[in-house]
Amino acid sequence: MNEVKEALRTIEQHYKLFLQQQFTFIAALQHTRENAHDVIRPVASIDQVQSYMDHYCNNSTDRRILNMFLSICNDLSKLCQKLEAVHPGNSTTNGILERCKLLLSHSNDLSTIRAKYPHDVVNHLSCDEAKNHYGGVVSLIPIVLDCMKEWLYHTEKLPRHMLHNVSGRSALSEKRAPEDEPARAAISQNPPSVHPEAQTSISNKECVQVQGSKHVRKKHLNDTENHNGKLKSPWKPPGRHAF
C-alpha cells in the first residue's frame, strides 16, 4: 500500500508541473491539429494526441508538452495495475478501478467528461475551447487522480489481511517480518570466537593467579605456625634455686 501511495504522489507532482503549462499544451494541440487539417472535431482520445505528436508535430516545445501528457497517462495506467495487485477488490473498489481503466483506454471518447470543482482546468479555456475542442482532454488526468484517491480511501477501510503488496505477500506478513527479524538474528547469531593466543594468555594468567594464591596461602599458614610456636612453646619446669 505504501508503494501505491508513493507512486500516486509522484504522478501528482508531475501533473502539477504539467498543469503550470496548460496554455502550452493547448497551443501544441492547436498547432498539430492545424497541421493535420483536423480543426473541427474535438480532441477526444489519447490515441488522437499520440497521432498528433507522432505525425504532425514540428517543434520541440510542442513535442515535449504532448509527450509529458502521454507520459502521465501511461504512469496512471501502470498504477492501475498496481492497484489490482494490492487488493482483489469488492464491488466499490472494482467499480472505481474499472472507471479508471476505461478513462485511460487510448480509444475511449473523452469529449463529454469535465473536471469539476475544485479543479479549474476547464475554466482556463475559452467557452468555445471548453465546449467544442479541449474540455475533455484537459479533464482526463484530474478525474483519474480523484478516482484513485477515492479507491485508496475505500481500500484503507478494509481489513489488513485482505490487502497485498505489489509482490503478492499479504500486508500482515509484511508487517510481521520486521518484528521477527531481531528474534531470527538472535537465534542465528554465533557466540564470539576467542583467538587461540588469547585463550593461552588467559590460561597462563589463571595459572599465575592460582599459583600466586597457593603461595600466599602457604606463606600465611607458615607464619601462623611460627607465631603459634612462639606462643605455645613446650613447658619447662623451673630450675632449682639455692636458698
Residue 133 DSSP one-character state:
T
How many CB atoms sit inside 10 A of residue 152's CB? Answer: 19
Q: What's the pLDDT at 158?
A: 77
Q: What is the pLDDT along the chain (243 residues), one digit of tens a residue?
A: 788 899 999 999 999 999 999 999 999 999 999 999 999 999 999 999 999 999 999 999 999 999 999 999 999 999 998 888 887 778 899 999 999 999 999 999 999 999 999 999 999 999 999 999 999 999 999 999 999 999 999 988 877 655 555 444 444 444 444 454 554 454 445 444 444 444 444 444 444 454 544 444 554 445 544 444 444 444 445 544 443
Q: What's the pLDDT at 187?
A: 45
Q: What's the pLDDT at 177?
A: 45
Q: How far apart are CA 46 and CA 52, in angstroms?
A: 10
Q: What's the pLDDT at 162?
A: 57
In DSSP notation, 166-205 reads TTS-BHHHHHHHHHHHHHHHHHHPPPPP--HHHHHHHHHH
Q: What's the pLDDT at 159?
A: 72
Q: What's the pLDDT at 191?
A: 45
Q: In DSSP terms, which residues pair with 170 in a beta bridge? A: 164
Q: What's the pLDDT at 85?
A: 83
Do the beta carbons of residue 121 and residue 142 sit within 8 Å? yes
Q: Where are the domains of the chain?
A: 1-157
Q: How far apart are CA 230 and CA 222, in angstroms?
A: 12
Q: Give how far Cα 211 sits from Cα of 9, 152, 154, 182, Å.
A: 74, 76, 78, 44
Burial 90-119 (b: 16+ CB within 10 A, else e): eeebeebbeebbebbeeebebbebbbeeeb
Q: How far apart are CA 61 and CA 24, in angstroms?
A: 8
Q: What's the pLDDT at 175?
A: 45
Residue 240 DSSP one-character state:
P
Residue 96, phi then psi, degrees to nearest 5: -65, -45
Residue 108 DSSP one-character state:
-
Q: Model pTM?
A: 0.67
